[in-house]
Amino acid sequence: MEDEYSSGSQEAEREMARMWRTWKTVHEMLADRGYEVSEDELQISYDDFRSKYSDPMGYVDRNKMKIVARPTDAMLAKYTPLPTKNNPEPKPECGTIYVEFCPDASGVGTKQVRNFNHTVDEQNYHSGIFITRTPISPSAIRLLNSIPGHICEHFQEQDLLVNITRHELVPKHVLLSPEEKAQLLVRYRLKESQLPRIQVSDPVARYLGLRRGQVVKIIRKSETAGRYASYRWVI
């Protein structure tokens, strides 16, 4: 009996450590996208995470792990289209984001996604991130992307154990504002379709929540020039 308790306790500790790392990566991801994230959440210690997000048995309580974040002024500016004749005062194409960790260990499908969608729609969140332990079906993915006027994404917990953008071999990616994109195209006399491309499914593009039609600046280190930049059109 004691061995069973010890084994269960070790399992709970391992899961808690994994989820602490995932929780920190999610907050880093939100901050890198431009959302308001407190330093306390970015730097949360393992002990503080365990005391806030564990159940009475010492396991992670994913029902407590919900995040709501608002865009910073800088993010609002980056996501505001350029004025046009038909739209002289465009509104930002971003807003409050809601993140939910699905508590179900298996069998995650349309039922859970429908509940998540209901929360996003009812609370009028602009965007949502649904995080699960296991893969979800193609039909659940389609359902996740079916709310008019809302942008929802799916990640697995294991995808967020490590922040890929902190790896030394991954160059820095910076989203250009619509104005910066327009200036770039004028400067080099290009159409956006003439730029090299990056898929929305690219791991860094997913991390940053990039959208089709945007342009991202990629800054690499150079032994001769110090740093050099290239640009990618998101498709």
pLDDT digits (tens, 9 = 90+) for 19-76: 999 999 999 999 999 999 999 999 999 999 999 999 999 999 999 999 999 999 999 9
pTM score = 0.94
Neighbouring C-beta atoms of residue 223, cutoff 10 Å: 5
Q: Residue 14 maps to which CATH number?
A: 3.40.1340.10
Q: What is the mean predicted confidence (pLDDT) over 150-173?
A: 96
For residue 99 the two structure tokens come to: 């993140």
Which among 185, 210, 205 is positioned nearest to 195, based on CA atoms? Answer: 185
Q: Residues 146, 33: one domain?
A: yes
User: Residue 15's pLDDT band (boundaries 50, 70, 90)?
Assistant: very high
Q: What percent of the chain has pLDDT over 90?
A: 91
Q: Residues 81, 20: one domain?
A: yes
Summarize pLDDT for 60-103 with one digit per residue, the tens.
Answer: 999 999 999 999 999 999 999 999 999 999 999 999 999 999 99
Q: Are 165 and 135 in contact (CB under 8 A)?
A: no
Residue owning tokens 């699905």: 102
Three-class SS state of 39 = helix
Neighbouring C-beta atoms of residue 171, cutoff 10 Å: 17
Which among 117, 197, 103, 199 is positioned nearest to 153, based on CA atoms? Answer: 117
Q: Residues 148, 170: one domain?
A: no
Last residue within a domain, chosen from 162, 183, 199 = 162
Q: Residues 53, 114: one domain?
A: yes
Q: For residue 6, what pLDDT is reported?
A: 55
Q: Residues 57, 156: one domain?
A: yes
Tell me the residue range of the domain where 99 lies: 2-162
Q: Which amino acid is residue 8, in one-letter code? A: G
Q: For residue 5, what pLDDT is reported?
A: 46
Q: Residues 200, 142: one domain?
A: no
Q: What is the mean predicted confidence (pLDDT) over 199-209?
A: 98
Mean pLDDT taken over the chain: 94
